[in-house]
Amino acid sequence: MTSEQRKSFGSDNHAGAHPAVLTALAAANIGDATAYGDDPLTEQVTARLCAEFGAAAAFFVFGGTAANVLGLGLMLRPFEAVICAESAHLNGDECGAAERVLGSKLLTVPAPGGKLTPDLIASQLAGRGNSHRAQPRAVEIAQATEVGTVYTLDELRAISEFCRASDLLLYVDGARLANAAAYLDCTLADLAAHADVLSFGGTKNGAMGAEAVIVMNEPLAAAMPFQRMQLMQLASKMRFLAAQFGALLQDDLWRANAAHANAMARRLAEGASAADGVEIVRPVQANAVFARLHPRHIAALQHDWTFHVWDEDDSVVRWMTAFDTTELDVDTFLADIRSTALREPHGPGLAHSG
Ligand SMILES: Cc1ncc(COP(=O)(O)O)c(C=O)c1O
């Protein structure tokens, strides 16, 4: 295998599109269709999405960051703020999109395992009613989280009950909602029932640039058509976004893709944990594996493989699997994890001391 042929463990974003998505795009390409979502395919797939989630409305957009900004935008007045985990993608990896576009303050909380709890949310409510403080109005959580963990249905219920009792709205970043549903073996509706608005990621699940904003709290939906256009996420050839979700919904392809990616992450974690000098540092629940390795071991692996060094100071890497990661990809990577560990000049099994 040359390094060009090696599977990337860098991100599920590195994967191509699922063949069924490409077939659906080709089918949608036949003939003309009315623009901006007034076409039969968009109507049909939107209705299927709403049925799947038990939702009031669903809207296609191009990207996950846009879905987060638009979803939260339905909830906030200019002086209102969002409570989120410090580790949230919204906070750390979206270039301040929410702050710039919505002009809303993010009230961030250090969250163990990437997860908020009612107590952590409550810790941000002290300034309520004080006109000198941004007013908490929305809570943002990611399912699965940025660190590959998944909220249980009980944890979600506790957060949503707390939010409802505290006059807070709940937004769920579902860029990897499919992976969470596959891990929990629950329906999308089971997860969505706890949210006011959520996103449903297509791209990381086999689409090629299609996400959906799902509105559960009906009155919030009215502003979306205007906001989506103003914020440049209204696709003129909408049928091509709808077609991708149509393919993922067909026979629950989304679940098969996510379950497969999760299984490949588990296989990788199990194999790697048996290798010298590798410590799995987080529960492997969705499709990400976080592991601590000696820095020289990381450098040796990076020679041939693509993955992220997540925390350089702590020598932690992230290996991510996708719908198209094969058992052979994982086993080939594992063989190199083992062989590069053994090639370490100071011997295998060195604990990182930094
Ligand atoms: C949890 C999470 N939310 C949102 C996004 C943003 O998606 P996009 O890159 O499509 O804007 C990502 C991207 O990796 C993500 O991991």
Q: Is 89 in the pocket of ligand 1 (CB under 6 A)?
A: yes
- Ligand 1 centroid to residue 39 C-alpha, Å: 28
Backbone angles phi, psi at 142, to 5 degrees: -115, 140
The CA angle 194-198-202, to the nearest 5 degrees, is 130
Residue 347, pLDDT score: 44
Q: Is 63 in the pocket of ligand 1 (CB under 6 A)?
A: yes
Q: Is 65 in the pocket of ligand 1 (CB under 6 A)?
A: yes
- Ligand 1 centroid to residue 64 C-alpha, Å: 5
**Short-list 141, 138, 117, 137, CA closest to 128:** 137
SS (H, E, C) 2-46: CCCCCCCCCCHHHCCCCHHHHHHHHHHCCCCCCCCCCCHHHHHHH
pLDDT of 348 strictly over 50: no
Residue nearest to atom 8 of ligand 1 (CA): 64
Minimum mean pLDDT range among 1-10, 19-28, 266-275:
1-10
pLDDT of 350 strictly over 90: no
Helix orientation angle between 239-249 and 253-273, rounded to the nearest 10 degrees? 70
pTM of the model as a whole: 0.95
Across the range 147-168, mean pLDDT stands at: 98
Cα separation, 205 vs 344, in Å, equals: 36
pLDDT one-digit tens code per residue, 209-260: 999 999 999 999 999 999 999 999 999 999 999 999 999 999 999 999 999 9
**Short-list 272, 312, 304, CA closest to 288:** 272
- Ligand 1 centroid to residue 157 C-alpha, Å: 24
